[in-house]
Homo-oligomer: A and B are copies of this chain.
């Protein structure tokens, strides 16, 4: 498939500035970017032509941390900190996913919402339930969106319905990996120990082995909340810190790894992340909502750590990556003030980079329009927000991020292919259950 996209093209090959190509052409062959050009050579005139003149064309958004089964809870129960919040709201909801019909109905809404908001790739937690997780995988494959999907592992310290038998957890994880590792180039498994307090040493040991054996990426949570950090310290008093517990079990960069939150990293932990190439999934709204704190992303960037952005549904209340970008800007401004103006606020091009190429690099060559990149793109029309203003392409992007909504996204492509609304459901007609 060979295509040309015409419009005002914006991306961030580096975080420090937007590269903007007004009224230009993006050439795509077999899902990969060939180049951006302001003159369409004859060669490309027979390519499929998408005319988005006057619209902006940006890379699709990458959400590196969210929980599919928590989607029905978004916006509810924002009155607690992490651990009581998990026990009061989250674990009871996650217990429902032994029911495949319930799972299907939630996942339809969930994947439709990702599509609507322009999230073309995500790294997502399912539940402990294998069949439900396989269903989520199948539904992502059917959707045309890209995803890393994890069967959650936890075999201690949780709601009774969510505590797995350790052996079964390991066996099912391997079954899940084998069944899906080579099925789709857009949707793949990721190993997902929930976090240290809910996993025994035996489980962590075996998950580390599976990660290495099949070269599967890893996602988990790190240093989100002071009580959680304290809990890990009590569980592993001999460990230097929280990060080193993951590291000990080969779950910290031995394969590609991403850790959500990182509000309370010690310098030593951050250095280990930089050294091992472990990513931070920065979830600003969740860090606000659960009273976790202000994650010092500038510091991590300065220390050479890779960073992406996560909605963290449903610690975060919104699945919109533009709204997550706003939260990341706001967080960084408060960090700047409180660091005695030493840690500079993130700029808009920087948070845009984090939401595209920054998180995208966890998936491969994703999130940018550089040559050879997989071409995920969104077409944005902000005419309804630009009344009485003639906006530059960069100002259109500012408006979209701060004030836009899913209505401003008029088309979505993943790896060069147009993606339509995945599931045709009419929520109005289905009674609550």
Enumerate chain A interface residues (CB-CB to B < 8 A): 72, 74-79, 102, 105-106, 109, 285, 288-289, 291, 293-294, 317-318, 326, 329-330, 333-334, 336-338, 345, 347-348, 383-390, 395, 398-399, 401-403, 405, 427-428, 430, 432-433
Contact in complex: B387, A109 (CB < 8 Å): yes
Residues of B within 8 A of A317 (CB): 326, 402-403
Residues of B within 8 A of A399 (CB): 75-76
Residues of B within 8 A of A291 (CB): 333-334, 336-337, 345
14 A–B contacts, CB within 8 A, in A order: A72-B388, A72-B389, A76-B395, A76-B399, A76-B402, A78-B348, A78-B398, A79-B348, A289-B329, A317-B402, A317-B403, A384-B428, A389-B432, A390-B433
Residue in chain B with minimal CB distance to A293: B337
User: Which listed residue, B72, B102, B330, B384, touches A288 by the CB 8 Å rule?
Assistant: B330
Measured CA separation A401–B78 after assembly (Å): 11
Besides A78-B398, A293-B337, A318-B402, 7 new A-B residue pairs in contact (Cβ under 8 A), listed by A number: A75-B399, A76-B398, A289-B330, A317-B403, A383-B427, A384-B427, A390-B433
Contact in complex: A75, B398 (CB < 8 Å): yes
Residues of B within 8 A of A334 (CB): 288, 291, 293-294, 334
Residues of B within 8 A of A333 (CB): 288-289, 291
A75, A77, A105 interface centre (most CB from chain B within 10 Å): A75
Measured CA separation A67–B39 after assembly (Å): 44
Contact in complex: A402, B78 (CB < 8 Å): yes
Contact in complex: B427, A387 (CB < 8 Å): yes
Contact in complex: A105, B337 (CB < 8 Å): no
